[in-house]
Structure formats: structure tokens, C-alpha cells
């Protein structure tokens, strides 16, 4: 079917993908914008996977200080070249990730960073909870596996929903930047400082406040 320049422009504005990629996705989706976005995201994940083995030793350290100096974050995101490290889109992504860490307070970068001891501890707790609730033995493993996945999504940065766009995880945000800028990228580490750390705080209220600021 015929795809208009207006459709391509709108899709490109929403995804950041190239003109030809947008046109091809729209043709495949028969002009349906939402389907075209899904197609681009799927192909983008595949393209990002192909680049994942390439060395990413350049990059940038970004920071975010919450209003009033109550929360401070530093995050290191790596890429392949100094050229991309200085790119405005890359720099913006690093700042956004730092802001997300301030709002969502992850404990780990990825699930592989969680110690075996902690995973087994969580697994044991979930199993005992399931048994105590009367769940049949034959479905315990499935229940425990599901709860572990939820634990990883809540505590691992790359699996968390991006505060500025909950339809995307942080991993998907990075993957989209890989596709757009053509280099492998990875979040290496982060550190988060909270004023009065250890004192009772209302983290949910803070996350809501940061998210609201991000949308302004």
C-alpha cells in the first residue's frame, strides 16, 4: 500500500528510527502506526543483540541531583567510540537513566548481579509463602519462578519500567539508542546517595515527584 510522508514523519518522530526503516515498518503494518512501532521495536532488539558482543569501553558518567539536593546519582554508560559518547542523544539518555535511578532506587544493574545467596533466600521465602497459602505442590515451582521475575523487575535497573515512559524498560531505552546510534552500549554501574540514608522515607512519594518533574 502507499505510505505517505506524513505517516513516515510521525513514526520517525515517535521512534527515532531511520526513514527507510519507518517506511518499511509501515508497509509491513499496512499503515497501522501502533503495529509499525511494535515492528520497529522488535527489529531493534534483534539489531541490538547483534551488537552486544562488541567492546564498549568509551562512554560517559552522568549525574542527577534531585531538587533540594536530597538525592544524588552517578551512572556510567559505555559505548564504543568517543564520537558517540559526545552525541547529544547519548548524553540525554545517560542523564535520563541517572534521573530514573534517583526515582526508582534499583539495587542492581541486571539480574546477573544478584548474588546466588540472595536469590536462594528469596526463592525460599516465596516457596514458604505459597505452601502456607495452600497452593498445590505441583505448581510451586511456577509460582516461585513468577515471583522471582517480579523481584528482578522491581530491583534490577535494566528491567524496571522507565519513569518517563513506563511502556519501555531501561533495557529497551538502551536498545533503541543502540539502533539509532549504531554502537553497542551498556549500563556498567551506578551509585545513589540519599540524604539521611537509613532514616524512614516515603520513597513512593519521591518517585511520583521526580516522575512529575520529568514530564514538565
Give me the CATH number covering residue 30: 1.10.8.10
Q: Identify whether residues 84 and 160 lie together within a single domain.
A: yes
Q: Identify whether residues 143 and 161 lie together within a single domain.
A: no
Write the CB contacts of 149 (distance below 8 Å, at least 6 apart in sequence): none
Residue 207, pLDDT above cutoff 70? no
Residue 8, pLDDT above cutoff 70? yes
Model confidence over 47-70: pLDDT tens digits?
A: 555 555 565 668 999 999 987 888
Long-range contacts of residues 26-32, Cβ cutoff 8 Å, at least 24 apart? 27/1, 27/3, 30/1, 31/1, 31/3, 31/7
Residue 211, pLDDT above cutoff 80? no
Mean pLDDT of 167-176: 88
Residue 97, pLDDT above cutoff 80? yes
Residue 145, pLDDT above cutoff 70? yes
Give kind and range of the element (H or E) at residue 172. helix 170-181
Residue 170, pLDDT above cutoff 70? yes
Q: Identify whether residues 16 and 78 lie together within a single domain.
A: no
Residue 173, pLDDT above cutoff 60? yes
Distance between CA 134 and CA 116 in Å, rounded?
27
**pLDDT score of 75:** 96
Q: Based on the number of CB atoms within 10 Å of its own CB, is 146 exposed (0-12), middle (13-18) or buried (19 or more)?
A: exposed
- Residue range of the domain that includes 17: 5-51
The rounded percent of the chain whose pLDDT value lies above 90 is 39
> Global pTM?
0.67
Q: Identify whether residues 80 and 175 lie together within a single domain.
A: yes
Q: Identify whether residues 38 and 97 lie together within a single domain.
A: no
Model confidence over 149-165: pLDDT tens digits?
A: 999 999 999 999 999 99
Residue 201, pLDDT above cutoff 60? no
Amino acid at each position: 500500500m502507499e505510505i505517505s510522508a506524513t505517516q513516515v514523519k510521525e513514526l520517525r518522530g515517535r521512534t527515532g528510527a531511520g526513514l527507510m526503516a519507518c517506511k518499511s515498518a509501515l508497509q509491513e503494518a499496512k499503515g497501522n502506526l501502533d503495529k509499525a512501532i511494535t515492528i520497529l521495536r522488535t527489529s531493534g532488539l534483534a539489531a541490538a543483540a547483534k551488537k552486544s558482543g562488541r567492546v564498549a569501553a568509551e562512554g560517559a558518567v552522568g549525574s542527577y541531583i534531585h531538587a533540594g539536593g536530597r538525592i544524588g546519582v552517578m551512572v556510567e554508560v559505555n559505548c564504543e567510540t568517543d564520537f558517540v559518547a559526545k552525541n547529544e542523544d547519548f548524553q540525554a539518555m545517560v542523564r535520563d537513566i541517572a534521573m530514573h535511578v534517583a526515582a526508582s532506587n534499583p539495587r542492581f544493574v541486571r539480574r546477573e548481579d544478584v548474588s546466588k545467596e540472595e536469590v536462594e533466600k528469596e526463592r525460599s521465602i516465596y516457596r514458604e509463602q505459597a505452601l502456607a497459602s495452600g497452593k498445590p505442590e505441583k505448581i510451586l515451582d511456577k509460582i516461585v519462578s513468577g515471583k522471582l521475575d517480579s523481584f528482578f523487575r522491581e530491583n534490577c535497573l535494566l528491567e524496571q519500567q522507565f519513569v518517563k515512559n513506563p511502556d519501555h524498560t531501561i533495557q529497551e531505552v538502551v536498545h533503541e539508542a543502540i539502533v539509532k546510534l549504531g554502537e553497542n552500549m551498556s549500563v556498567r554501574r551506578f551509585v545513589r546517595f540519599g540524604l539521611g540514608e537509613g532514616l524512614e522515607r516515603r520513597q513512593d512519594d519521591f518517585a511520583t515527584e521526580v516522575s512529575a518533574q520529568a514530564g514538565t
